[in-house]
Amino acid sequence: MSAYLATFPSPDRGVWHLGPIPIRAYALCIIAGIIVAIWWGERRWIARGGTKGTVIDVAVFAVPFGLVGGRLYHVITDPELYFTEGRNPWNAFAIWDGGLGIWGAIALGAVGALIACRRKGIPLPAMADAVAPGIVVAQAIGRIGNYFNQELYGAHTDLPWGMEVFQRFNPEDPDNLLNGVATGHIPLPESPVHPTFLYELIWNLLVALVVVWADRRFKLGHGRAFALYVAGYTVGRGWIEMMRTDTANHILGLRVNVWTSILLFVAAVVYFVIAGRRGPREAPETLVGKDAGTPSPEDGEPAVADEPEHAKVAAEAPAATEKPAEDAPAEEPKKTEES
């Protein structure tokens, strides 16, 4: 009885309707995460010497690419949810119902970021370092959306922090319980369960703290802060993934996302070591894009850096070797008391 009292309930619903417009908690969490990632990434970029507004400009490319990539990864790794008998293939486009694979979002989002960085003339690894902690915090916020969707939880548990999962009903579409409402608080047979989405949320916040600490302590550059984020996240994702009970494809007895985490952890560690040989963090002047406000060669004027103040003073002062004009009368030597 005491264990039950210590559990926490799942939400009654994940969708509210404002007239004919559905307000989905999952979508709101994804949007909130993106906003936090851009805001924090912008602050970190400016602190590293970059130009204000650059992260927002890069996000214009990276976010749409990332959403498409995240959905593609989800559909490719779980095709039976959309392309088997009795399933509606068009639901593969219903991103508002949940289903985003973080690695697809990162991979295709990186392509969008690369395009934007090349257009602006700034290094992609430096941009990745600036946005790394914001991305993992955005993932944590996104897990709140999984809570409202009643998804990504684990097996039954008697631990005091277990989550009560209630049966939802949708009279208009009995097969679409995601848009249903829990009435009567009827628990599912496996309830209470491990809130694995909460475990990952907490883990993500810890990873963000580690990345920020290491970045400040060791002045990480050349993509090393981003690599540390990937390595840290995959460690947690690996063991948390194995606790989940939702349907997933397996390879050699392990879930696909576990294998993905293992491979990406190894790749991140290797990159972290190799990138460390490139020397100190990128110089601030390399983070200033082509459109930073100074004239560029494309505008017809050479881009010249500001001249140091002492050089300006020297240029304005008369030269020490300048000879007096020939028609100017020479001054008579002043007499002193000794002459």
Q: Is it the case that residue 326 has pLDDT exceeding 80?
A: no
Report the mean per-residue pLDDT for the chain: 85
Strand partners for 187: 166
pLDDT (mean) for 229-255: 93
**CA distance linking residue 135 with residue 117, whole number of Å:** 17
3-state secondary structure of 215: helix
- Peptide bond before 192: cis, by omega within 30 degrees of 0? yes
Residue for token pair 């496996």: 190
Residue for token pair 């209470």: 192
Q: What is the pLDDT of residue 309?
A: 43
**CA distance linking residue 285 with residue 245, whole number of Å:** 50
The single-letter code of the amino acid at 57 is D
Which residue, among 181, 200, 189, has the nearest Cα to 25 in the 3D structure? 181
Q: How confident is the model at residue 5 (pLDDT cuts 50, 70, 90)?
A: low
Q: What is the pLDDT of residue 306?
A: 42
Q: How confident is the model at residue 99 (pLDDT cuts 50, 70, 90)?
A: confident
What predicted TM-score, i.e. pTM, was given to this entire model? Answer: 0.81
List of residues 6+ apart from 204 with CB closer than 8 A: 136, 137, 139, 140, 143, 233, 236
203, 236 contact by CB (below 8 A): yes
Q: Is it the case that residue 317 has pLDDT exceeding 60?
A: no
Condensed to tens digits (0 to 9), the pLDDT of residues 298-313 reads 334 433 434 444 444 4
* Mean pLDDT lowest among 89-103, 183-197, 251-265: 89-103
Q: What is the pLDDT of residue 293?
A: 60
pLDDT (mean) for 111-128: 96
* Mean pLDDT lowest among 39-48, 125-134, 228-237, 315-324: 315-324
pLDDT (mean) for 221-242: 97
Condensed to tens digits (0 to 9), the pLDDT of residues 165-206 reads 999 998 887 777 778 899 888 999 999 999 999 999 999 999
Q: Which has more confidence, 107 or 88?
A: 107
